[in-house]
Chain A
Amino acid sequence: MAERIPRTPVREQDPEVRARNFEEVCLGYDAGEARREASRCLNCKIARCQQHCPVHVDIPGFISRLAAGDEAGAAEVIARDSSLPSVCGRVCPQESQCEGACVLGIKSEPVGIGKLERYVGDWSIAHADERQVEIPAPNGRKVAIVGSGPAGLACASDLARLGYEVTVFEALHKIGGVLVYGIPEFRLPKDRIVAREVEAVKRLGVKFMTDVVIGRTMTVDDLLDRMGFDAVFVGSGAGLPRFMGIEGENLNGVFSANEFLTRANLMHAYDEAYDTPVYAGSRAVIVGGGNVAMDAVRTARRLGAEAVIVYRRSEAELPARVEEVHHAREEGIVFRMLTNPVRILADEQGWVKGIECVEMELGEPDESGRRSPVVKEGSNFTIDCDVVIMALGTSPNPLIRDTTSGLDTNRRGCIVADDNGATSRPGVFAGGDAVTGAATVILAMGAGRKAARAIHDYISAGSQDN
């Protein structure tokens, strides 16, 4: 019966208009739309959506409250498992998680779980001032958090709720990590959403110190041995940008997606009032197929460039969220699938003038289970362009592993931590991209929350010994 109600479409900015501004693309549900969409949920006994959520949010539980018009109740249900609903509602790959598992999706379209979560998250932000925040009595124990991204924020707020004195150390000048330097404004508004989520953490009594680079300004050893912290959580995120190792990668006009996005997002380079420059050229080729590649290509488009994605596999293998690919296409992004760069061509001044690529075809599945791309010999061709942006992922930042004694890292340089975030060094916990390599906001947030529980257990056990 429920199939009779079609999925409630979400309002979006017109593609022609939004391709020239940095305002948020998706406008979200209003109260009526949210309630209507919530009423589609079958409230399954065995909730496949919840099973497929990395942090197992009680999805039928929050949606049923929403369907009854109880936003506050819905917010409480989500808050049990997620501390960043307005962020995750916007950036989670729902199609491969909750919505991908929704029973309604078999015959019709799944419930718009992401948009509903976003609605509840935004409702919470709008009503934050009306709710009394209960801060427990301090338990006299101090925990340091390295990095203010999703993992660090989640860990900090859980520990603060348990009575810990929590200090978050952030290397950059702004709090939020990838939420402020990586994900663009048009996907995740900085002042309206990220800053408000950070405020909520501050209201719990968490202290933030920006401009402090752990591993340089002070070390993890300093925090534990000299500064009286009982435990440290490392959520320092991903690190150095990867390049392909092809000719011409250091030409002028070749950027990592991290540089390009940091200039645009953190440094507001797209805004005339800010000093930091950014250069998108007249035609920008972005190499890669993940969410970061989509963010970079759509940013380049908004800066006035004709923007092209070059990806070595086919559309089915694109790791980006389906919605991002869809939005990018609507905005006029050109997709060159089964195409791989072999070198970048220079003009006389050493600036990019084109990118030479080869055509690829899909062969046997590789270890990731995806069919591996194979070069079609002699298929070389050139795309004229003046900017190339490499969105190929990152390798771990060396600062913390090089300056922390007794901290094991794996072959790839990621910090080794168990399921609860415990590392080889007692008192040091870690989670998020610093452990897993580049992953998602929700996984980082989940890791931060698990580590908070493990830190609580670790410190509680220590107190009993004393």
Chain B
Amino acid sequence: MFKIVSRRDLAPNITEMRVEAPLVAASALPGQFVIVRVDEESERIPLTICDYDPEAGTVTIVTQSVGYSSQKINSLAEGDCFLDFTGPLGRPSDLIDIDPEKLRDMKILFVAGGVGTAPVYPQAKWLHEHGVTPEVIIGARSKDLFTYVDEMEKVAEVHLATDDGSAGYHGLVTGLIRKLIDEEGRHYDHCVIIGPMIMMKFAAMTTKEYEIPTMVSLNALMVDGTGMCGACRVTVDGQTRFTCVEGPEFDGHKVDFDEAMRRQNMYRENPKTKRNLNHKCTCHG
């Protein structure tokens, strides 16, 4: 059993939990994910690691309620336990393999969208600890949907963008990328994009125009998450790849996003998940 030692709501339907999982915390690196199960009947749900503390033995996850299973996760309270919490899974971010000397000379841009902001944090924090201050674009529909801005500002130069103009740049992250490069004359050597699939698709198209090497972190459907089921397969550069063991980060300029988006919705119309989505959650009164 894996105890939730703290829990807070970051935005409507977005919850952060710090979970006691010492073995995972001891081995976690930026870019990796965990698979959690709430109870015996639950699905195995993959979630990107948002922070980890080997000394405290805790791992932080951030979950957005979109369907039955994520609602079930977010209905857990402080002190409750996950039945299963497995990881760290997937390959760590490529950034940690770059020679630290070389890294210090690099200008690194993160583009975070929605609930994808939290998983950017461990990567930005890791860079900051290694003497690099990256830039992070955080995009949201509106300013009350921002998460992890305060944390991020401690480790990175943050640029905000909102669709409705309620904070920061008024427009999409793609517009802000252009503005930073074209109007402010900034230059980037490497970009990492994490967020909703559609945002990653268009942000990656934008960085391709500027020829910035770009990684994206894919949140594909998974069952076991250890390289057994193949549910997470994606097409990268015309090749089928398995997100769970070869990812979750892939070259953003080579991912077939249209296929990835279609596959992500595979079970949306499943009678069982439909039943689940109609389930009235009484957890929040």
Contact = CB atoms under 8 A, between A and B. Distances in A.
B86 A279 contact: no
A275 B41 contact: yes
Interface string A17-54: 00000000000000000000000000000000000000
A274 B41 contact: yes
Interface stretch (A137-145, A195-203, A256-264, A360-368): A256-264
Given A250-B259, A275-B41, A399 B245 contact: yes
B84 interface: yes
A181 B86 contact: no
- Max chain B Cβ within 10 angstroms of own Cβ: one of A240, A256, A272, A349: A240
Interface residues on B, range: 35 or more
B42 interface: yes
A212 interface: yes
Contacts of B87: 213, 216-217
B125 interface: no
B86 A275 contact: no
Secondary structure class of chain B's binding surface, majority of residues: mixed
A217 B227 contact: no
Given A216-B27, A240-B245, A173 B84 contact: yes
Contacts of B41: 268, 273-275
Contact of B227 (A210, A240, A243, A269): A240
B154 to A, nearest CB: 29
Contacts of A427: none
B228 A258 contact: yes
B279 to A, nearest CB: 10
B224 interface: yes
B89 interface: yes
A217 B27 contact: yes
Given A171-B86, A218-B27, A250-B233, A275 B224 contact: no
A255 B231 contact: yes
Interface in A202-240: 210-213, 216-218, 238-240
Interface string B65-108: 00011001000000000011111110000000000000000000
Nearest to B72: A275
Interface string B133-166: 0000000000000000000000000000000000
B273 interface: yes
Nearest to A276: B43
- Max chain B Cβ within 10 angstroms of own Cβ: one of A218, A276, A399: A276
B86 A211 contact: yes
Interface in B262-282: 262-263, 265-267, 270, 272-273, 276
A399 B265 CA distance: 28
A277 B233 CA distance: 18
Nearest to B39: A275
B23 A218 contact: yes
Contact of A262 (B228, B235, B259): B228
Interface residues on A, range: 35 or more
B72 to A, nearest CB: 8
Secondary structure class of chain A's binding surface, majority of residues: loop
Contacts of A253: 266
A350 B262 contact: yes
B246 to A, nearest CB: 8
B245 A279 contact: no
Contacts, number: 118
Contacts of A374: none
A217 B33 CA distance: 11
A239 B230 CA distance: 10
Contact of B240 (A211, A213, A217, A243): A243
B205 interface: no
B230 A397 contact: no
A398 B228 CA distance: 11
A125 interface: no
- Max chain B Cβ within 10 angstroms of own Cβ: one of A217, A249, A258, A277: A277
Contacts of A55: none
B47 interface: no
Given A217-B24, A267-B44, A171 B240 contact: no
Contacts of A272: 272
A73 interface: no
Nearest to B271: A277
A241 interface: yes
Nearest to B40: A274
A447 to B, nearest CB: 20
A274 B69 CA distance: 11
B229 A212 contact: no
Interface string A267-293: 111001111111100000000000000
A76 to B, nearest CB: 36
B212 interface: no
B69 to A, nearest CB: 6
Contacts of A239: 227-228
A275 B263 contact: no
Nearest to A279: B270
Contacts of A278: 272
B242 interface: yes
A276 B27 CA distance: 28
A172 interface: yes
Contacts of B206: none
A269 B272 contact: yes
- Max chain A Cβ within 10 angstroms of own Cβ: one of B87, B226, B228, B229: B228
A293 to B, nearest CB: 15
A211 B85 contact: yes
Given A213-B89, A216-B89, A275-B68, A267 B231 contact: no
16 contacts: A172-B226, A173-B44, A173-B86, A216-B87, A216-B89, A217-B24, A217-B86, A239-B228, A240-B245, A252-B263, A252-B266, A256-B231, A272-B272, A275-B68, A397-B227, A398-B227
State the 6 A-B residue pairs at the shortest beta-carbon distance, nearest first: A259-B229, A256-B230, A277-B270, A241-B230, A211-B86, A277-B272
Interface of B: 23-24, 27, 37, 41-44, 68-69, 72, 83-89, 223-224, 226-231, 233-235, 240, 242, 245, 259, 262-263, 265-267, 270, 272-273, 276
